[in-house]
Amino acid sequence: TCSLLRSPKGFPELKNDTFLRAARGEQTEHTPVWCMRQAGRYLPEFRETRAAQDFFATCRSPKLCCELTLQPLRRFPLDAAIIFSDILVVPQALGMEVVMVPGKGPTFTEPLKEVEDLLKLRQKVDVTAELGYVFQAITLTRHSLEGKVPLIGFSGAPWTLMSYMIEGGGSTTMAKAKSWLYRHPEASHRLLRLLANVITDYLVGQVAAGAQALQLFESHAGHLGPELFQEFALPYIRDIAQAVKSKLKEEALPLVPMIIFAKDAHYALRDLARAGYEVVGLDWTIQPQEARAQIGKHVTLQGNLDPCALYAPKEKIGELVKKMLESFGTQRYIANLGHGLYPDMNPEHVGAFVEAVHAHSRHINKH
């Protein structure tokens, strides 16, 4: 139950810290598992809770976010919860309007077109004023979890958010956003720096509110080649890790593990391994052994089953999970999908995935 508790501290004691131990590179009895988009439309109870609500109104309701975050944990023995929210709350905090259009997805009413449009953005963002509803949702959910599993907070990364702000929504080419990188490199850096500063404060605020790990989503990394990634994505990914950690120290907050998930960025794995994150998330297009070879033994890997594997019969899901665990090894590893769950997936198959990770990793660890 998600009843609003006033005191943010005095959180319940954590009972299952397997996910945090794996993130820090400590020994675990089983491989922990969670799923990107685990609080989502594949669950009938999610659709019921969300039915009458505007999407972003849901994001602004701590009680609903708490309920949606907890739903998958009532069904599956997942090892972590991730707060229900959206990466586009950050552009909203900068003063941009985003609406969820049925059948189309998130849409910006006035995307950035010209460099002058940057002047319309808030240059100083008070994250507590603009995004306090996310912090409340985290605090409430952390209490409501009753220490069952750790709670993950997250944000989109600067390039991914910039691309949405210029494209005005989803895009297959990101041509408008990429044209800024080539035509207006200085303005692009100004925007990316502004985003990085807000994201840093936002992530620190999430830890203050009770988040026990953080994931940064660079979902549109695949639209950049190595050169553009080196110039416009990686420096900000690095800066965010460093700035978040130093602010957490300054404010005497827990130093929580951080995960970087840069989708389709195989060309940058070595750099991402040295970017200051405890965990590197992988999509399904890379071989586990190849990723381990590039990233080395001092960073935990997360991923990377093809989400579409969940359409397979349950026995087949078990076989694929076993193979994945044998390839990654059961230690310094967090099992996940290589991207989020899709709305038409069968919840029972998600359960089969979670159970297979636990069963096979325990078996491998014993033998």
Catalytic residues: 37, 41, 50, 86, 164
DSSP assignment string, 297-325 = SSSEEEEEE-GGGGGS-HHHHHHHHHHHH
Residue 3 pairs in a beta bridge with none
Q: Tell me how far apart the alpha carbons of residues 289 and 160 are, in angstroms, rounded to a whole number.
A: 27
Sequence-ordered list of residues with C-beta below 8 angstroms from that of 91, at least 6 positions apart, any chain = 98, 108, 161, 164, 165
What is the bridge-based pairing of β-strands 258-262 and 300-305?
Answer: unpaired
Closest C-alpha to 211, from 93, 84, 126: 84
81-82, strands of its sheet edge to edge: 81-82, 151-156, 213-218, 258-262, 279-281, 300-305, 333-337
Q: What are phi and psi of 280, to 5 degrees?
A: -110, 120
CA count, 13 A, side-chain hemisphere, 11: 23
Q: Tell me how far apart the alpha carbons of residues 162 and 73 are, in angstroms, rounded to a whole number.
A: 33
Number of helices followed by number of strands (H, E) in the chain: 15, 9
Sequence-ordered list of residues with C-beta below 8 angstroms from that of 216, at least 6 positions apart, any chain = 154, 155, 156, 157, 199, 203, 237, 240, 241, 258, 259, 260, 261, 277
What the block records as the tokens of 82 is 């991730």
